[in-house]
Amino acid sequence: MNSNWFKIVLKATNVKYGKKLLLKGVPVIFNKKGAQLEIGDHVTIKNSFLSNLVGLYQRTIIVTRSPDAKIKIGNDVGISGATIYARNSIEIGDNTCIGGNCKIL
């Protein structure tokens, strides 16, 4: 699937992303007005059932829930059907793999 059209949606909702963002399927990304959501370089986000052999129960969901919230995802990160939900701050370091259906709140 070509994810270039979704990158337009990300820019419209003030989500910053780095080089070579790869989306397999369409994630759910909601950035509250005033919040910060940054995705690093070489990040892969898997969303479809067949994109990970672990078996994904849902698409990846990334949400900032307050105007003061901040989510920062580092470089070379892989995410598979996970939920990342922040009211304050969450930072995912470089070279991190977030396993299938993981919840980070």
Q: Give the pLDDT confidence score for residue 7 in this predicted structure.
A: 85
Strands 61-64 and 83-86: parallel
89, 68 in Cβ contact below 8 A? Answer: no
Q: Which residue has the tokens 């994630």?
A: 27
14-35 pLDDT, tens digit per residue, is 999 999 999 988 899 999 999 9
Q: Give the pLDDT confidence score for residue 40 in this predicted structure.
A: 98
Across-strand partners of 37? 15, 71
Tokens at residue 25, please? 């399927």
Across-strand partners of 72? 38, 91
Residue 74 corresponds to which amino acid? Answer: G
57-95 pLDDT, tens digit per residue, is 888 999 999 999 999 999 999 999 899 999 999 999 999
